[in-house]
Amino acid sequence: MLLIAGLGNPGPQHQNNRHNVGFMAADAIHRRHSFSPWVRKFQGLLSEGTLASEKVLLLKPQTFMNLSGQSVGEAMRFYKLAPAQLIVFYDELDLSPGKIRVKTGGGSGGHNGIRSIDQHVERDYRRVRIGIGHPGAKTMVHNYVLGDFAKADGEWLDVLLDAIADATPLLAKGEDSSFMNRVTLALREKLQPTSEDDRPPPKVAKQQSHIRQARPHKPAVNVPESGPMAEMLKKLFGKE
């Protein structure tokens, strides 16, 4: 059994926040793989399903981000799960928008949701970091993560969430690198220019200068191998 937790803040006012991309990933997995309806349990919303023949619990903590560990820890203890059976999806400021990385263990990186989970669960669980980019200054981070994704972000965000949902069975099988590669490839295929209008113009062959064009071409002459005539022709036309 696996527990997959997507982190975010509850309430419609936070629904499209950058900080809620973990919730968005959980919702995408829920839709794609026909999980059971959400029910309130463990201070969160819980759903059950199957990925790659593995029973999976989806959890969206409703404790607000800073107390995510209360919900996740309660579910882990109830089902007697080890840290290796936990996967957490959350937003990452230090990754470019649309980038995704999977790692096992490590620090919280300043993420309050991860810091809370670390207080309730041993750290050797898998973390799926979803890049949202950085606003550029530390003083801007709070408003940035609690702000909604821009309309233009939908171009890559929708593709990313669909790719995550499609590739999550690889995570269930422990194939973390294949999961990252599959998501990255899906983004590249969907977002790179494909129409002729979007392709860079073809390179134009470099034309010869007017000086070079004016030079006469060497006549095709069969130069004898030896003898006086051969020496004269070689001096006149140059050696091959």
Residue with structure tokens 């609690």? 146
156 CA to centre of own chain: 10
CB-based contact 51:33 (threshold 8 Å) = yes
For the chain, residues with pLDDT lower than 70 are 193-240
Of 121, 116, 88, the closest CA to residue 103 belongs to: 88
pLDDT value at residue 199: 54
| Half-sphere exposure (Cβ direction) of 82: Cα atoms closer than 13 Å | 2
Q: What pLDDT shows up at residue 54? A: 94
Q: What is the CATH number assigned to the segment(s) 2-191?
A: 3.40.50.1470
The length of the chain is: 240
Which residue of the set 19, 30, 33, 111 is catalytic?
Answer: 19
Does the annotation mark 19 as catalytic? yes
How do the domains of the chain map onto residue ranges? Answer: 2-191
pLDDT of residue 192: 76
Convert 165-210 into a string of H (helix), E (strand) and C (coil).
Answer: HHHHHHHHCCCHHHHHHHHHHHHHHHHCCCCHHHCCCCCCCCCCCH
DSSP annotation of 2 reads: E
